[in-house]
A and B are shown apart, each in its own frame.
Chain A
Amino acid sequence: MKIVVRDVTFAYNSHAVLHGVSLGVAEGEIVSIIGPNGSGKSTLLRCLARVLQPRRGAIFLDGREILAIDARQWARQVGYLPQAGGTSFPITVLEAVLMGRKPHIRWGVMPRDLEAVERAMRYTGVEEMARRPLGELSGGERQKVLLARALAQEPEVLLLDEPTTSLDILHQLEILELLRQLAVEQGKAVIMVMHELNLAARFSDKLVLLKDGSIFAAGRPEKVLSVASLKAVYGVEAVVSEGRFGLEVLPLRPVAGRGTLGGDDTT
């Protein structure tokens, strides 16, 4: 499934957030949206997920305007994981993951639904928690369950808002490798919001760097993550090197005049 975002502009009431964002994602591709807090990453992903409607511009899925697609058909093609935040609902882990099968279920739950659920739970490593209430899990465990829900949906396009943020390093790697496997083997398109620049660079085909709601840079990670762009967008001085394991970003310090304690400037 190919996604094209054309000149999307969005505002919450009068608060303009996205300004003319355009990008394209091919199938089998992993694209990470990066940028500072409040730069509009989640807003862009919400527009992609049809949660928000752009003020101007349009988004196309395989050439069709997404707002024109039938809801059920849409739900079978696109899975969305919102940014983690509070909403814990009183159901069991199994019920939460089963929810991902909603677009495939008419009324009865079929064996293939349960198979998809089991697979998804195994992939995120939550199969042992099936009976537990979602509200009693740790933040990372819950995130894995919600990710499993999106996977159980078996969509062609995955939209993930910070899927690895509260996971430990083992699970970060496992989830990201799983996503890459899905992209490479099954041609899924993955668009995710990331904060961890090194992981984003390593696991993404393309990065989209947002600054104040506009694309500052987009393309291959080594092109986007430059010393200059990190300084301009994040206000951080960093070292970027091409190491043995690919691109390595080491943030050093805020650029002079930012975020220091009462002018006690050590530089």
Chain B
Amino acid sequence: MGWSCKGPMFTLKHRTDPWNQGRDCTGRARRFLALRPSPVPRPRDRRGTVEEIYASTTFRKALLLVGLVILLAAAGLVAATAGAAQVGAGDVWRVVAGKFLPAYRGTAGELARTVVVDLRLPRILLAVITGMSLAGAGAAMQGVLHNPLVDPYILGLSSGAAFGAALAIVLGAGFLAPVYGSVGPYLVITNAFVFGILAMWLVYGIARLRGTAPETLILGGVAIGYLFSAGVALLKYVSENEALKELVVWLMGGLWGATWEAVRLLFPLVLASQAVLLYYAWDVNALLAGEEVAGSLGVNVRRVRLLYLGAASMAAAATVAFTGIIGFVGLVAPHICRLLIGNDYRFLIPCSSLLGAALLLVADTGARTIMAPTEIPVGVITSLIGVPFFLGLLLKRRSQISL
């Protein structure tokens, strides 16, 4: 296989070419040398062979991945120990080991157990899950829509979810309302999820009429987004004081609603979404070369786009339903990773997800401790941490962020 010249000589069979006669297949190399007066020794050792370059860049990417895992673990430990109740790292270890390692025999104080297991752990895990799903979805959507400004809330997802939540909060109406009996958190969650997905389907359905081109999807998403936002504005306008406050808080987003139940529900969903995103990473890499080329490389462009958008929006819609709208993480985490390792989606997806998780976890820990007992909206902290870091990278790195 390959292009290498194996035969000793080749003669052209079907045409006579005076300028080619008697040339063997090393002629190319020979003429090359003849044209270059002093054949410089190949700078192999300096730049490396393709294999070495590939190995070193892949190593870099893997290094970032490992670094982010460590960062996330550290952030988790800090988050577990931070707060009003004094719980040390040792306590955290004893509690966690006691809960998850059946063979572990150590015991922790009752207070530590309650605080860590009932309060902090679900909140930490929800932050991780949410950060992962938003940042992973951001990277995925930016990738298949070829647009750096896209975030997981594009395709009308956030406005749809907000409208669903508003319907539930303000009017107590919505899917399954009879089942839940009264306006409870479940009604809000279900409604937000259903309307988020509904908005997305609407946009996708519209875009399909024109071959699901990225521009149509994005503009359709923006348009449908405005429609639902108008609905939310109207509901705000007609709502009572109490409901209005609740709605505003929901719209701001936050992780105070963290429960083990939420974690158990979301975890498999986000895992499945990540699996889909990783499975098609090569196809999305190829999509960077344009739809035509990707198609000729064996990529089913339509299917990959649908599955990527579907998997990403599912995870985003589900987490949004529990946390309200948390912006910025999904936009900025992928870009930070992109600036560090480029556009290889095999690594970009997991790196973005981990960074998003770490960012949201740190921000949430800050949000609940800085002004305790008052909570600052987590979005505020995310921006305060993320923006300077992001701008710093943007200015320091010469390489392009474009898609």
Contacts and interface: CB of A to CB of B under 8 A. Distances in A.
Interface of A: 46, 49-51, 71-72, 74-76, 78-80, 82, 87, 89-92, 94-96, 98-100, 102-103, 105, 107, 109, 111-112, 114-121, 123, 127-128, 130-131, 133, 135, 149, 151, 153-154, 170, 174, 177-178, 180-182, 184-186, 202, 205, 244-246
A91 B288 contact: yes
Nearest to B7: A185
A49 B3 contact: no
Given A177-B20, A245-B18, 13 more contacts: A49-B296, A51-B292, A51-B295, A51-B296, A72-B298, A89-B290, A90-B399, A90-B402, A99-B297, A115-B2, A128-B43, A130-B53, A154-B2
B17 A246 contact: yes
A90 B400 contact: yes
Contacts of B400: 90, 133, 135
A82 B290 contact: yes
Interface string B2-13: 111111001011
Nearest to B17: A246
Contacts of A111: 51
Nearest to B35: A170
Given A128-B43, A185-B7, A94 B53 contact: yes
Main secondary structure of the interface of B (DSSP, over half): loop
A185 B10 contact: yes
A267 B7 CA distance: 54
A71 B300 contact: yes
Contacts of A149: 289, 293
Interface in B338-376: 342-344, 346
Contacts of A180: 12
A266 to B, nearest CB: 35
A112 B5 CA distance: 17
Contacts of A117: 50
B3 A98 contact: no
Nearest 5 interchain pairs by C-beta:
A75-B298, A80-B296, A118-B50, A102-B297, A89-B288
A131 B159 CA distance: 42
B78 interface: no
Nearest to A75: B298
Contacts of B296: 49-51, 75, 78-80
B49 A118 contact: yes
B314 interface: no
A116 B5 CA distance: 14
B293 A80 contact: yes
Given A51-B295, A130-B53, A245-B18, A89 B25 contact: no
Interface of B: 1-7, 10, 12-15, 17-20, 25, 28, 35, 43, 47, 49-51, 53-54, 57, 282-283, 285-286, 288-290, 292-293, 295-300, 342-344, 346, 399-403
Contacts of A89: 288-290, 343, 403
Contact of A181 (B13, B18, B25, B300): B25
Nearest to A108: B346
Contacts of B2: 115-116, 119, 154
A46 B289 CA distance: 16
Contacts of B15: 205
Given A74-B298, A185-B5, A102 B282 contact: yes
A116 B288 CA distance: 21
Contacts of B299: 71, 102
9 contacts: A90-B288, A90-B400, A90-B403, A94-B53, A99-B285, A102-B297, A180-B12, A181-B25, A246-B17
Contacts of B403: 89-90
Contacts of A46: 292
A83 B12 CA distance: 29
A156 B259 CA distance: 58
B297 A153 contact: yes
Contact of A107 (B282, B289, B344): B282
Contacts of B288: 89-91, 99
Nearest to A119: B3
Contacts of B1: 112, 154
Contacts of B298: 71-72, 74-76, 102-103
Nearest to A174: B28
B47 A130 contact: yes
Contacts of B399: 90, 133
B43 A50 contact: no
A178 B27 CA distance: 11
Contacts of A170: 35
B293 A186 contact: no
A96 B21 CA distance: 35
Given A94-B50, A121-B50, A151-B3, A102 B292 contact: no
